[in-house]
A = this chain, B = another copy of it.
């Protein structure tokens, strides 16, 4: 089973997730029937798409470090999707986003449930509370799925510290991102640091380290491969985030499942925007001031902003940066320490995360 493709791994991840969610949903509704809405919404959220990037990176890191596929390992990797669900549910709540993958976000969904059942109190407050708790539950479930995956004691004890570190970095990155949006001026340096934590570390480097920690439980023996994974993961993660920024401004909302204008209306300090501000003329700065981050931004304003971002050369600069970061990342894969089948999965993933349109 060593020559598996990414899509085969993806299917295996889906199956493990579905089984875990089925079992947990049954358990929840056995506590109280009122919990069926929680079980149903979380299952629908988890099983309705998603690229499964973090499990795929963890799996590829595992194979690259000489690991042999097993359903226990797939289960352990799949748990990262539950952590990601927590991040997304809480993110949508914090951003006040109405949709996720073209469907209502969790807080909006529970707001609707409140309204349609004509419950007591404020629908928006119920939606908010549900999103807080469903995110928390997803985080706890991710731990439970990892801990009960069937990894051997050595494997589990080896992976826990990496897993904990990754989650602290995730929350730190999330806070820095929230905090950045409260700053009066943009900064390419600060935005790149956030991209490093939110994506470089959380999405790619740490999942790879999780993979190597399961394949090689003696920490000293994986020092070199972990370094290679950092050299690959950090630049690629930044490239991934930069692609996200471009999709958040120029993407097709039909494909991304998110309104294109969200980043512009929110006034999100992405690297793309920080670069635009750095390069804008006085006249362009005036236009940016007029449209960027304005709640009532309309399609006219969006088009004006898109034109400026392109005209300053910021878009081309970011595209170029994506290319450079990706090519740097790929260099790390040339080292013999990474098993061939792992390296080829990682090459494929690098294309996938930097050339995507959703």
**CB within 8 Å of B: which residues of A?**
24, 27-28, 31-32, 34-35, 38, 86, 90, 93-94, 96, 114, 119-121, 125-126, 128-130, 132-137, 139-141, 143-144, 147-148, 153, 156-157, 160-161, 164-165, 167-169, 171-172, 174-176, 178-179, 181-184, 193, 197, 267
Assess A193 versus B94: contact at CB under 8 Å? Given A136-B86, A160-B147, A175-B38. Answer: no
CA distance in complex: A175, B29 (Å): 12
For A129, give the chain B residue with the smallest CB separation. B94
A167 contact set on B, CB distance < 8 A: 140, 143-144
CA distance in complex: A15, B197 (Å): 31
Q: List 18 A-B contacts (CB under 8 A).
A: A28-B168, A34-B175, A34-B176, A38-B172, A90-B136, A120-B184, A121-B182, A126-B178, A135-B136, A137-B175, A139-B139, A140-B164, A140-B168, A144-B165, A144-B168, A147-B161, A153-B153, A157-B157
For A148, give the chain B residue with the smallest CB separation. B161
The answer to whether A130 and B168 have CB atoms under 8 Å apart is: no
CA distance in complex: A267, B176 (Å): 37
Q: Closest Cβ of chain B: how far from A154's Cβ, in Å?
A: 8
The answer to whether B171 and A94 have CB atoms under 8 Å apart is: no
For A266, give the chain B residue with the smallest CB separation. B121
Q: Closest Cβ of chain B: how far from A268's Cβ, in Å?
A: 11
CA distance in complex: A86, B126 (Å): 19
A27 contact set on B, CB distance < 8 A: 168
The answer to whether B153 and A120 have CB atoms under 8 Å apart is: no
Q: Closest Cβ of chain B: how far from A114's Cβ, in Å?
A: 6
Assess A171 versus B86: contact at CB under 8 Å? Given A32-B176, A94-B132, A182-B120. Answer: no
The answer to whether A129 and B178 have CB atoms under 8 Å apart is: yes
A139 contact set on B, CB distance < 8 A: 136, 139-140
